[in-house]
């Protein structure tokens, strides 16, 4: 049977008669963790970012994800409250602390809330995303953007624009990003209860996962 199969599928040129030790090694394709951006309203920026990061952890079988959140306002005191944290997320928080970047962990997500000033936020976000380069990363922007933050956003593999009820506004944002060569699409956020659970380190319900899978379709 093997000889018959080889008769039909073998290349027409002469077979490679080199000893196996001399043959070229099989090609190995590296898997690069996804880098995603999210544009949404400030009220749900942190929880939606956590939900997206948590889903990327599950989708890509990663130990953790890193989420950087910018709302255009200074981080609120007490915003770091979260549930039990995973080992990899805690390690990432310690690494960020070593760079004097304040962050916290909730479940398998390490979260850094960025300062209000766009230039400062962009500089710190670049460091945060670099620390998380080996795991999925999410950059959440929830305020009027300036050039430094737009440049970071343009480096993402995919940017999701949350549809918060004003579909026309979301479509305008998507079109503007696409004109700049950024892969972008509109998406519906999971229910507030689901994203709140994610911000506390809990898992996502199946309905929330299905919605995010649809938004991330085609992302390697």
Question: Average pLDDT in the 51-70 region?
Answer: 96
The residue to which tokens 């004109």 are assigned: 179
Domains of the chain: 36-215 (3.40.50)
Min mean pLDDT across 93-102, 118-127, 145-154 is at 145-154
Residue 151: band (very low, low, confident or very high) from pLDDT cuts 50, 70, 90? very high
- Tell me the three state secondary structure of residue 159: strand
Counting every residue written for the chain, the total comes to: 220
More confident residue, 156 or 6: 156
What's the pLDDT score for residue 45? Answer: 95
CA dist., res. 140 & res. 175, Å (int): 18
Token readout for 61 is: 């079988």
Q: What is the pLDDT of residues 12-52, one digit of tens each?
A: 344 343 444 444 444 433 468 999 999 999 999 999 999 99
What's the pLDDT score for residue 146? Answer: 84
Spell out the residues 6+ positions from residue 76 whose beta carbon is closer than 8 angstroms to its own: none
Residue 79: band (very low, low, confident or very high) from pLDDT cuts 50, 70, 90? low
The pTM score is: 0.83
């Amino acid at each position: 049977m093997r000889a018959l199969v080889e008769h039909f599928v073998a290349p027409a040129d002469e077979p490679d008669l080199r000893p196996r030790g001399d043959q070229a090694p099989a090609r190995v394709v590296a898997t690069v963790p996804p880098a995603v951006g999210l544009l949404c309203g400030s009220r749900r920026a942190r929880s939606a970012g956590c939900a997206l990061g948590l889903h990327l952890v599950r989708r890509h079988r990663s130990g953790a994800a890193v989420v950087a959140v910018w709302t255009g306002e200074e981080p609120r005191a007490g915003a770091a409250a979260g549930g039990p944290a995973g080992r990899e997320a805690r390690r990432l928080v310690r690494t960020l602390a070593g760079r004097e970047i304040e962050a916290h962990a909730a479940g398998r997500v390490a979260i850094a809330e960025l300062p209000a000033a766009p230039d400062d936020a962009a500089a710190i976000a670049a460091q945060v995303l670099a620390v998380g380069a080996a795991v999925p990363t999410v950059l959440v922007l929830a305020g009027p953007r300036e050039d430094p933050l737009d440049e970071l956003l343009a480096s993402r593999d995919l940017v999701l624009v949350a549809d918060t009820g004003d579909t026309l506004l979301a479509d305008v944002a998507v079109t503007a990003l696409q004109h700049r060569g950024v892969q972008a699409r509109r998406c519906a956020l999971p229910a507030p209860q689901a994203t709140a659970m994610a911000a506390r380190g809990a898992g996502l319900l199946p309905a929330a996962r299905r919605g995010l899978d649809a938004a991330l379709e085609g992302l390697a």
